[in-house]
Amino acid sequence: MSTQSSSPSWPSPRTVTWHRPLLWLALAMAAVTLVGVVGLLVDPRTLTGAPLWAKPLKFAVSILIYSLTLSWLLGLLRRGRRLAWWAGTITAVFLTVEMIVIVGAAAAGVTSHFNVTTPFHAALWSVMAVSIVIVWAIALLVAVLLFRADLGDPARSLAIRAGALVAVAGMGLAFLMTGPTAAQRDSFQGIAGAHTVGVPDGGPGLPLLGWSTVAGDLRIPHFVGMHALQAIPLAALLLELLARRIPALAEPRTRFRLIWVVIGLYLGVLALLTGQALAGQSIVRPDVVVVVSAVSLMVAASIVAGVVLWAGHRTQARSSGTAFAR
């Protein structure tokens, strides 16, 4: 007789009360994604070294994923539902404002971020900056609400809450881009802020993503940190699915400990990417310190995960033996 522990299943999409304004935003972003793809195909113009419509496309996809995730998370809340509804609605409004500026600037053939070349462009950048701060503050509020919510399985709860907090930190890394660089202060040309560290924006970059291949790029840790909101909960989901085939994972405590390993690894990678970007080092040209650090992180995480799995296996074996003896 088996005594495998079980946990409540993940909420079905049909049982979750999805936040409707965020769903409408996701639908709008799907349309903007199509516009961005068409723009890449038919509009040959470039801006700061990248295809003109690459930025609207990237932001549309990112906001699409974020709005769907946030809509689902807010639907899990049972306490503070009115506050959660307003948090989601305000987020949808200000993300819409941000996208209007980004798409409008692309259509006009000018950059949207850091642009203070004229009073009009400075006003648009200020509107975007305020919108970003509000969305970030609400993401922090949602993280707090998730800590007060009953999310079921301990590993799943930890993954969702940690994902939300790391995402808030990742979103906050965007503030590192908003100050003028030394070169901009020495010779101001109407741009105050930059994605890259060590060289001006617009140099060689990865296809579509645009991440610099010759210097540090703060968009990389920003992207990785922000999408912890999806990555870490997906790790918990994967562990629950694997528990059907791997008996050791059927023990909730084992999955809970493994999620801590995932969180530690994710934070380590995020710190490494942030340090690499701030040092002005390209993601595709890591130095020995970065390589050794990355390998050490992976090895340490693998060893700890192996120990946790072995302990879970022994616990499961003892439970099965006790049950058989009875």
d(Cα 61, Cα 227) in Å, to the nearest integer? 12
> Tell me, what's the pLDDT at 194?
86
Tokens of 79: 């306490």
Q: What Å distances lie between residue 317 and 155, 247, 292, 313, CA to CA?
A: 21, 9, 37, 6
CB 137 within 8 A of CB 105: no
> Tell me, what's the pLDDT at 325?
46
List, in sequence order, every beta strand (DSSP E) within the chain: 46-47, 50-51, 196-197, 216-217
- Dump pLDDT digits (tens) for 25-37: 999 999 999 999 9
* Residue 7 banded pLDDT, cuts 50, 70, 90: low
- Dump pLDDT digits (tens) for 83-141: 999 999 999 999 999 999 999 999 988 888 888 889 998 999 999 999 999 999 999 99
- Considering the domain boundaries, does residue 9 fall inside one? no
- Dump pLDDT digits (tens) for 230-243: 999 999 999 989 98
- Mean pLDDT estimate for the chain: 89
CB 71 within 8 A of CB 27: no
- Dump pLDDT digits (tens) for 298-316: 999 999 999 999 988 787 7
- Dump pLDDT digits (tens) for 142-163: 999 998 888 878 999 999 999 9
- Considering the domain boundaries, does residue 10 fall inside one? no
* Residue 322 banded pLDDT, cuts 50, 70, 90: low
- Dump pLDDT digits (tens) for 252-295: 899 999 999 999 999 999 999 999 999 999 999 999 999 999 99
Q: What Å distances lie between residue 220 and 58, 213, 253, CA to CA?
A: 13, 12, 33
pTM for this structure?
0.88
> Tell me, what's the pLDDT at 14?
62
- Considering the domain boundaries, does residue 263 fall inside one? yes
pLDDT higher than 50, residue 168:
yes
> Tell me, what's the pLDDT at 48?
79
Which amino acid would we find at residue 230?
Q
Q: What is the mean pLDDT of residues 191-199?
A: 86
- Considering the domain boundaries, does residue 38 fall inside one? yes
> Tell me, what's the pLDDT at 157?
93
- Dump pLDDT digits (tens) for 41-64: 999 998 877 889 999 999 999 999
d(Cα 180, Cα 193) in Å, to the nearest integer? 4
Range of the domain at 259: 20-325
pLDDT higher than 70, residue 12:
no
Q: What is the mean pLDDT of residues 191-207?
A: 85
Look-up of token digits 């809340």: 77
Domain total of the chain? 1
Q: What Å distances lie between residue 118 and 109, 123, 182, CA to CA?
A: 15, 9, 21
Q: What is the mean pLDDT of residues 196-200?
A: 87
CB 251 within 8 A of CB 5: yes
CB atoms within 10 A of CB 245: 8
- Considering the domain boundaries, does residue 161 fall inside one? yes
> Tell me, what's the pLDDT at 117?
87
> Tell me, what's the pLDDT at 201?
82
pLDDT higher than 50, residue 9:
yes
> Tell me, what's the pLDDT at 221?
96
> Tell me, what's the pLDDT at 15?
66
Query: Which position has the higher pLDDT, 221 or 311?
Result: 221
- Considering the domain boundaries, does residue 321 fall inside one? yes
> Tell me, what's the pLDDT at 123?
92
* Residue 321 banded pLDDT, cuts 50, 70, 90: low
- Considering the domain boundaries, does residue 8 fall inside one? no
- Considering the domain boundaries, does residue 1 fall inside one? no
